[in-house]
A and B are shown apart, each in its own frame.
Chain A
């Protein structure tokens, strides 16, 4: 069974259409890149998967249950979203912020159990933030703060992990480490959908690419099939060299913008 299934999803802000008739399904073990130019509707799609907007048409199903029949708390046990722009002035310690990922598993006045503490410890270790655990978030660098928010999403232990540009602002080593972590998370039986601007990384590390263009799903396939010269020129307006490495994954060399494109 798919962990998330989307059919005919259509949505607009105040009449301005953002997404048109988007359909796909993602199952356990998949690491899916969500790509597309600015304004293609990536963030909106991720929010729709979490039920933060009501679609104009179509529906989203989480682990077999349609979104409208789930409470916000039930959704949170199924799906975690790491938003693109988290506030920087959070007056909490790293551990406190990561522990908030356990909220959907706790009753209103119930204290944390050993399981919750363990989940936080694991999330801190996985994101290389254990040493920062007792520091206030306000004192961290941008990259460190990013990893803390990633740790919070991991501590939530939802089966569907949605991430909006989780590696933007990380140095190259932490970018690769973050992608490895998402890979391991998916392999452990979860589904991961990650919005990425870095097409090279998406091509190298993801199983599957959802390509959004102008609010419609322009492609949904393996990186090798999605990232072709033609598609890159048509959707992103760039001229690129694409070759396949020995394992059949595309290696992109993006050269320049195509004449007349943004």
Chain B
């Protein structure tokens, strides 16, 4: 449609039938169909392919050499119920690598989705999962579980304690923010309370770390957890973190258009029917849920939540209908591949080191080339 045709169109009247009759012959809005942007479709296709690719690579790479055929047949045997317990390759693929890859995918996806939601919600490009103070709460829970030797009693206890820490922190943040706002929760207050609790959590975590250094093993385990890693992650971790991440991600994705509307400012968002206080509450709670679950099962992994949404925004633009689901897959792929790199470099290099080592320079490059908007509101 050319601008010349459009300019000659008569002013719109609210009655659509009437205005259609008033339009000049060359003007045919009927041709307009729901637009699905080709870039977004291509992006989704690419991302789904890459996700499958990343999982396959994650299954194949490691100290034990396993071919594609062996991995596929091991998976097929498990799926058909013909378990071969004596086949060590099957144990490595299904019992060790697959849960590790899936936990990494879910955690990476969760961090990126939360980052995308929080950057939109706070209208701040530097918002990331840490700003709610939730991940530091999870860290404190995990570190206490290790220090008091709770973590050793069952595999699921460490992530459960971390999740409890995150949940307690979220409740505290909201209770204090609601108290300060006389019953209403304001995003600015949530940020400030989150930052204050984060400082408190970090100081307590550091305190536990310093006293745990008295024992080499405990100190090493605490340190290792704080760096964020996927080593030894099991199906228990996936069962604990997975459902929370899926639920939170669906809630965030369902509010994608509300996030777009919030970009126009609070009053405009309300004008187009967004119940801003309620939507903000839901989005912050959903973000807290996915971040708590992700940090509980994978440790405090940095830069995924900041970097992935920014990179994807360059590819598909700011609208959250595409950005939120793509962030889930993008974050998952990024973390799985970073874990493969970590495993390949050294047997016990935590994946958090790789995400930061890759993420920070990439983010800086984006900043320098001004591809990431630095000016906040």
Contacts and interface: CB of A to CB of B under 8 A. Distances in A.
Contact of B254 (A52, A79, A109, A180): A109
Nearest to B12: A126
Interface in B1-44: 1, 3, 6-7, 9-16, 18-19, 27, 29-30, 32-36
Contact of A80 (B7, B271, B319, B373): B271
Interface string B256-268: 0110110111011
Given A122-B16, A188-B13, A73 B32 contact: no
Contact of A111 (B30, B34, B318): B34
Contact of B7 (A73, A79, A128, A152): A128
Contacts of B6: 121, 124-125, 130-131
Nearest to A123: B12
Interface residues of B, number: 47
Given A52-B270, A117-B34, A149-B268, A180 B11 contact: yes
Contacts of B319: 92, 96
A91 to B, nearest CB: 4
Contacts of A80: 271-272
B375 interface: yes
Contact of B34 (A47, A104, A114): A114
B32 A118 contact: yes
Contacts of B254: 108-109
B271 A112 contact: no
A11 to B, nearest CB: 16
B70 interface: no
A209 to B, nearest CB: 23
Contacts of A101: 272
A119 B272 CA distance: 14
Contacts of A82: 268, 271
A166 to B, nearest CB: 13
A73 B19 CA distance: 25
A93 B16 contact: no
Interface string A184-216: 110111100000000000000000000000000
A24 to B, nearest CB: 21
B81 interface: no
Contacts of B243: none
A245 interface: no
Contact of B14 (A79, A83, A188): A188
Contact of B264 (A100, A126, A187, A189): A100
B317 interface: yes
Contacts of B30: 114, 118
Interface residues of A, number: 65
Contacts of B261: 100, 103
B12 A185 contact: yes
A77 interface: yes
B59 to A, nearest CB: 32
A141 interface: no
What's the dominant secondary structure at chain B's contact region?
Answer: loop
B16 A185 contact: no
A86 B268 contact: yes
Contacts of B271: 50, 76, 79-83, 153, 156
A100 B272 contact: yes
Interface in A146-199: 149, 152-154, 156-157, 159, 180-181, 184-185, 187-190
Interface in A64-86: 71-77, 79-83, 85-86
Contacts of A15: none
B274 interface: yes
B11 A126 contact: yes
Contacts of B33: 114, 117
Which of A72, A74, A113 gathers most chain B CB within 10 Å? A72
Contacts of B7: 125, 128, 130-131
A74 B35 CA distance: 26
A57 interface: no
A184 B375 contact: no
Interface of B: 1, 3, 6-7, 9-16, 18-19, 27, 29-30, 32-36, 123, 254-255, 257-258, 260-261, 263-265, 267-268, 270-275, 313, 317-319, 373, 375, 377
Interface of A: 47, 50, 52, 71-77, 79-83, 85-87, 89-93, 96-97, 100-101, 103-104, 106, 108-109, 111-119, 121-126, 128, 130-131, 149, 152-154, 156-157, 159, 180-181, 184-185, 187-190
13 contacts: A50-B270, A72-B270, A72-B275, A113-B34, A117-B34, A118-B32, A149-B264, A154-B12, A159-B14, A181-B12, A184-B10, A185-B14, A189-B15
Closest 5 CB pairs of A and B: A76-B273, A188-B13, A131-B3, A130-B6, A104-B273
